[in-house]
Amino acid sequence: MIDPRISVIAERLKGIRNIIAVSSGKDSVGKSLIASTMALALARRGYRVGLFDLDFTSPSTHVILDAGDLYPEEDNGIVPPKVHGLKYMSIVYYAREYALPLRGADISNALIELLAVTRWNTLDFLIIDMPPGISDATLDLLRFIKGVKFLIITTPSSLAFESVKKLIGLLLELKTPVIGVIENMKIKESPFIRQQVEDRRIKFWGEVPFDSHLEEAIGDVNKLLETKFSKKLGELVEKNL
């Protein structure tokens, strides 16, 4: 028995110049906000950008973007709708507001299905919002998307970095490109994360200060792009990508 979907994945992704997985070993470090804002910032700079929410059991980018009532179109596969200038895909289009409890094999199958049928066509960047940790989605991405690059997110906490360093270790061992690390929600001066990252010979993109007004901007893209968080992130993207 052969799964025919695997062969077609490379064909579906061949028009994408850069695939960047925004990832972390730890939950609640701001991956979804960084992935969404980074995608919006790149689109506002004139790039053709896609955003793919791969956090199947806890998707949130649709809330950040207020993705609205648009729906993927069927045209020899699935064509992602354009949301605020981004080609946007999330499992929330199919599972809607319901809880989606998935075990490992189901996560892999759903990922393969979406990779096999989604027509991104030509993009400069496909930003992938990853679920936390080193589990099925990360392993499948490494298996099916050749050339994927990882942008790692951490907070200043040594607890967050304890998980992040394992993800970095795995990626380096697999010779997967890690384009950088962002230290998010920075509150006070500390060189700990920068040192840890640089000791591993990975580019430290910089720090994004904790922004107490960020919550108020969720669901309002224009307001989001005006936050201190977005402005600092935009600088880091401009400087490092």
Partner 1 sequence: MHEWALAEAVILTASQIAEKEGLKEVTEVKIKIGELQQIEQDIFEFAISQLKNERLKNTRFVIETVKVEFECMVCGHKWVFAKEKLGEDEKEGIHFVPEVAHAFIKCPKCGSSDFEILQGRGVWIESMKGVKP
Show the tokens assigned to 44. 């506002």
224 vs 215: CA distance, rounded Å: 9
Does position 191 bind partner 1 by CB under 8 A?
no
Q: How far is the CB of 147 from partner 1 (least distance, A)?
A: 19
Nearer to partner 1, 137 or 182 (CB): 137
Residue type, 133: G
Question: Judged by CB under 8 A, which stretch of 1-9, 39-47, 158-166, 227-235 contacts partner 1?
Answer: 1-9
The β-bridge partners of 86 are: 83
What's the number of CA atoms in the CB half-sphere (13 Å) around residue 227? Answer: 25
Q: For CA atoms 2, 89, 14, 237, give the dihedral sign.
A: negative
Question: Judged by CB under 8 A, which stretch of 6-14, 165-173, 198-206, 210-218 contacts partner 1?
Answer: 6-14
CB atoms under 10 Å from CB of 32, counted, come to 26
Residues 6+ apart with CB under 8 A from 189: none
Q: Enumerate residues 31-50 that contact partner 1 by CB under 8 A.
A: none
Show the tokens assigned to 75. 């045209």
Does position 235 bind partner 1 by CB under 8 A?
no
Site string for partner 1, 114-153 (x = CB under 8 A): x-xx-x----------------------------------
The β-bridge partners of 79 are: 73
Nearer to partner 1, 144 or 205 (CB): 144
Q: How far is the CB of 59 from partner 1 (least distance, A)?
A: 12
Question: What pairing do the DSSP bridges indicate for beta strands 82-83 and 204-209?
Answer: unpaired
CB atoms under 10 Å from CB of 102, counted, come to 15
Does position 5 bind partner 1 by CB under 8 A?
yes
With CB under 8 A as the rule, give the number of residues binding partner 1. Answer: 35
Site string for partner 1, 75-114 (x = CB under 8 A): -xxx------------x-xxxx-xxxxxx-xxx-xx--xx
Q: How far is the CB of 55 from partner 1 (least distance, A)?
A: 14
Q: Is-contact 54 128, C-beta < 8 A?
A: yes
Q: Applying CB under 8 A, which residues contact partner 1?
A: 1-8, 11, 56, 74, 76-78, 91, 93-96, 98-103, 105-107, 109-110, 113-114, 116-117, 119
